[in-house]
A and B are shown apart, each in its own frame.
Chain A
Amino acid sequence: AQTVTQSQPEMSVQEAETVTLSCTYDTSESNYYLFWYKQPPSRQMILVIRQEAYKQQNATENRFSVNFQKAAKSFSLKISDSQLGDTAMYFCAFMKPGGKLIFGQGTELSVKP
């Protein structure tokens, strides 16, 4: 069975600084997808970034980028130039084709002015 672990329940960062959220996963699959979702206090779950396991290049979306280490089964999210609006719960998620979305327990990020 696949598992997703986010080892940092809470993190904080100063506005304009960079922060990295950690995620590790366990799977025997070779083909899968990884996602980071953001859930602000408004509670809407927003897709931040996705990564296909077969792609070696790390995905980026504006200020958000990932460090995907397939051998180490690690998928960290880096947020550059943090903004107050980045304050949210961040969920790392794994999915194999035909499988359910498996979430980590989440990291609550606070961006401080």
Chain B
Amino acid sequence: DTEVTQTPKHLVMGMTNKKSLKCEQHMGHRAMYWYKQKAKKPPELMFVYSYEKLSINESVPSRFSPECPNSSLLNLHLHALQPEDSALYLCASSQLALSYEQYFGPGTRLTVT
């Protein structure tokens, strides 16, 4: 089973809202990732978690706050976003951080109004 799930599929939020994106994997992977993807562009790495600890933050603005409650779950908390943050947010997991192929979830399409 190589499934990574993400909820919600679509999210529309105002610039003053607080919302969260959720990601789950049951493959026993110890690394999880958040990516941001604009239309017809490759994904851009945002965060890497290894063994539930944040190992890489790609200088992402503080209005994005990741959280890894356990090895299967990854959240991305959103607050005071800007319209330019509208994008597809992809979660991925791999057996170990930055060493094996990554499996992606279906993404959350985020629109900031």
Residues of A within 8 A of B (CB): 33, 35, 37, 42-47, 50, 89, 91, 95, 97-101, 103-106, 108
Contacts and interface: CB of A to CB of B under 8 A. Distances in A.
Given A43-B88, A45-B90, A98 B104 contact: no
Given A97-B99, A98-B98, A105 B106 contact: no
Contacts of B40: 89, 106, 108
A37 B106 CA distance: 13
A103 B43 contact: yes
A94 B90 CA distance: 18
Contacts of B92: 45
Question: SS class of chain B's interface: helix, strand, loop or mixed?
Answer: loop
Contacts of B2: 47
B64 interface: no
Given A43-B107, A44-B106, A95-B98, 20 more contacts: A33-B101, A42-B106, A43-B106, A44-B104, A44-B107, A45-B43, A45-B92, A45-B104, A47-B2, A47-B102, A50-B101, A89-B40, A99-B98, A100-B48, A101-B45, A101-B98, A103-B43, A106-B40, A106-B41, A106-B42
B66 interface: no
A100 B31 CA distance: 12
